[in-house]
Amino acid sequence: MKVRIGGRGSQLSRAQLDIVAAGLRPRADVEIVPITTTGDRLSREQAAMTGKDLFTREIDEALLEGRIDLAVHSLKDLPSQLPAGLAIVAVPQREDPSDVLISRSGATLRALPSDSRIGSSSPRRRAQLLAARPDLLVTDARGNVDTRLRRLSEGRWDAIVLARAGLARLGRLAEVTEVLPASQMLPAIGQGALAVVAREEARGLHDLVASLDHAPSHREVTAERALLELLEAGCRAPVAGLARHVEGRLRLSGAAFAADGSAAIRAEAEGEEGEPATLGREVARRLLDLGASDLLALGRET
């Protein structure tokens, strides 16, 4: 059986495609199809006006049109609702979802001098960085991991914040200065996880990739994505969430932030492992009751 799997063409995306391909090759002849997405082509300013599926749209179109059989996405790039006809059919075991700081001097976030320049284009990271250190200057940082690390070494910034998972998949964890705890930097929804997406009617492919699915990771991201969907927040909104298995139950922490770090709304709940979406909606409702909608609307207006 031949299976064409598609994803973005960056070095990190290729590493993620290789993870899925390696799991499928004992049972299928795998062809990797790199696809350039809107997000790969746009500047930050253009990206901010385009929508929620910058890094997935062209890949999903190729899947719906039958040019590929499976898509592999960084789960944090996915909009809260997939295009009609598509489904997440597997979530491989999740990497550590933490964010990390990499600084030129080796200084931790707490030890960075005042007015240090931190590179990050993520509203979620920006809000939490400014909440922890309002004396820092958070500036835009686009590009793939290699590009950001090179620009850091060239002196564009004093430090950058990246996902630990990407560095792990690229074999570059030695460059990390500090792993930021969730209490200081709550991760993006789905961070560290991959999503294998297929057409809903392709039941044979669902069965083929079932062995790649890691049920605990799938439950975690299902809870997180249910939170995101009920908040009606895109993948670039200053919203964070992290689900974890604790003593046979699932615990979800969620938060929404003011873009400038001046305010945050947080909520947490526990639920049954088998009902992750219910837990996600419960935490989202708590955030909404505390005023998350107003906080996020204010961020969209500024």
End-to-end CA distance of the chain: 52
Length of the chain counted residue by residue? 302
Which is nearest to 190 in space by CA: 259, 95, 85?
95
Which is nearest to 269 in space by CA: 252, 290, 285, 286?
252
Q: How many CA atoms lie within 13 A of 71 on its CB side?
A: 31
Is residue 77 part of the annotated active site? The answer reads yes
Q: How many helices (H) and strands (E) does the chain have?
A: 11, 13
Catalytic residue among 53, 69, 77, 99: 77
Q: Rounded distance, CA 241 to CA 257, Å?
A: 12
Q: Rounded distance, CA 117 to CA 148, Å?
A: 13
Helix (H, G, I), strand (E, B) or coil at 32: strand
Four-point Cα dihedral 182, 265, 288, 73, nearest 10? -30
Which is nearest to 16 in space by CA: 216, 169, 162, 161?
169
Which is nearest to 122 in space by CA: 42, 37, 238?
238
Task: Name the amino acid, one letter, at 194.
Answer: L
Interhelix angle 11-24/145-153, rounded to 10 degrees, is 140
CA distances from 201 to 84, 226, 245 (A): 11, 23, 31
Q: Known catalytic residues?
A: 77
